[in-house]
Amino acid sequence: MKTYLVTGGSGFIGSNFVRQMLQNDTNCHIVNLDKLTYAGNPANLVDIEMDERYSFVHGDICDTDVVRQIFHQHKPQIIINFAAETHVDRSIGSPDDFIKTDVFGVFTLLEASKEFGVDLFLQISTDEVYGSIAEGSFCEGDPLLPSSPYSASKAGGDRLAYSYYVTYNLPVIITRASNNYGPFQYPEKLISLFVTNALEDRDLPVYGDGKNVRDWLYVSDHCSAVHFIIENGKLGEVYNVGGGNELQNIHITHQILEQLGKSADLIKFVEDRKGHDLRYSLDCSKLNQLGWMPEHSFDEALAETIHWYQSNEAWWAPIKSGEFKEYYKSHYNMAYEGE
């Protein structure tokens, strides 16, 4: 039996990964270390919390004592670090926690992995570390030019993990994925925010002219890529993970409104994000040649995602009535409750 330490397993991608892992591998034990920040939600894993192959530890990846205690007690062989502060907009307002978790937290996990020994340390990085690209696509060897405190701190964690491979021979692999969407995404990111706002007949705040391009990756495809890389990835390597769906934000906005039968009048163009990267694009041929391809088309997976938010208001409505509401009002300078 393999023991996995999954950090940030109560967040969006982490919770999808934990569920998928337990479905695919009957002979595993997963320890989920999560601080339960505003983005971490025990409700994301309520269906599996009694599974005897699953353990939850409420704690901070920056806390050396907690991390060492987990390594001592559970002796995980595979570490998958999803834990991070992840929202670019929040990183612009208050970068502190991004530096702590996305750099120092990675350091704490790497140190414990070095001390106790592991078979694999998988650092979940992001396409945002490359920065914006006007034409063409980034390959894994291209220089990093992050432009937000979020992407800069992720680049720090990404390169720190690599340095432990080179310097200490720690078995590290790094993945850089594009924008994810799907069930259980905190409703502050483009698709989860716009779908839930549209369901509530609220305005959809589109930055600038809406022409920013992102590559969209369905979360279950991201999880299957992580699983594939654990099995087949080469130590010391970086793998880009993309969905092959480059789309403008405004295109997705219209697609959401059309599927929900809502008026385009809900679109509200707002002042652009500071330092807003125009386009992200990944060359994923390295991972594709190794044998992994995404399985979902954007249109089908977006339709499934919209359907999930329609059917799971009980999951997102409490979130949108709490901390989120204050953040939203101050960030977009927009009334939230029909004010």
Considering 60, 127, 221, 277, which one is annotated as catalytic? 127
Tokens of 223: 């999880």
Check the CA dihedral 180-76-152-184 and report its sign: positive
* Nearer Cβ to ligand NAD (125/197): 125
Exactly one of 85, 97, 128, 246 is catalytic; which is it?
A: 128
Spatial CB neighbours of 1, under 8 Å, sequence gap ≥ 6: 27, 28, 29
Q: Which helix (H) or strand (E) holds 270?
A: strand 267-270
51 in catalytic set = no
**Listing from the earlier edge strand, what are the strands of the sheet with 213-218?**
179-181, 213-218, 246-248
CB of 291: closest distance to ligand NAD in angstroms? 21
Q: If we measure between CA atoms, which residue out of 47, 31, 36, 49 comes closest to residue 10? A: 36
Q: Name the residue nearer to ligand NAD (CB basis): 174 or 306.
A: 174
State in angstroms the smallest separation of the CB of 201 from ligand NAD: 26
Query: Residue with the closest Cβ to ligand NAD?
Result: 11
The contact set with ligand NAD (CB under 6 A) reads 7-8, 10-14, 33-37, 39-40, 60-62, 82-86, 101, 105, 124, 126, 154, 177, 179-180, 186
What is the DSSP code string of 24-45? H-TTEEEEEEE---TT--GGGG
CB 287 within 8 A of CB 167: no
CB closer to ligand NAD, 14 vs 294: 14
CB 166 to ligand NAD: min, Å: 22
Tokens for 77, please give them: 């062989």
Any idea how long the chain is? Answer: 339
Positive/negative CA dihedral, 59, 65, 68, 69:
negative
Structure-token pair, residue 149: 């405190």
d(CA 123, CA 239): 11
CA dist 186 and 103 (Å) reads: 22
What minimum distance in Å lies between the beta carbon of 14 and ligand NAD?
Answer: 5
Q: Which string of b and e fits 304-322 if b means at least 16 CB within 10 Å?
A: ebbebbeeeeebbeebbee
Asked if 65 is an active-site residue, the reply is no
Question: CB 122 → ligand NAD: shortest distance, Å?
Answer: 11
Query: Are the C-beta atoms of residues 163 and 146 closer than 8 Å to each other?
Result: no
Known catalytic residue: 207? no
- Is 139:98 a contact under the CB 8 Å cutoff? no
Catalytic site residue from 4, 54, 130, 150? 150
Minimum distance of ligand NAD from residue 62's CB (angstroms) = 5
Q: Which residues have a catalytic role annotated?
A: 127-128, 150
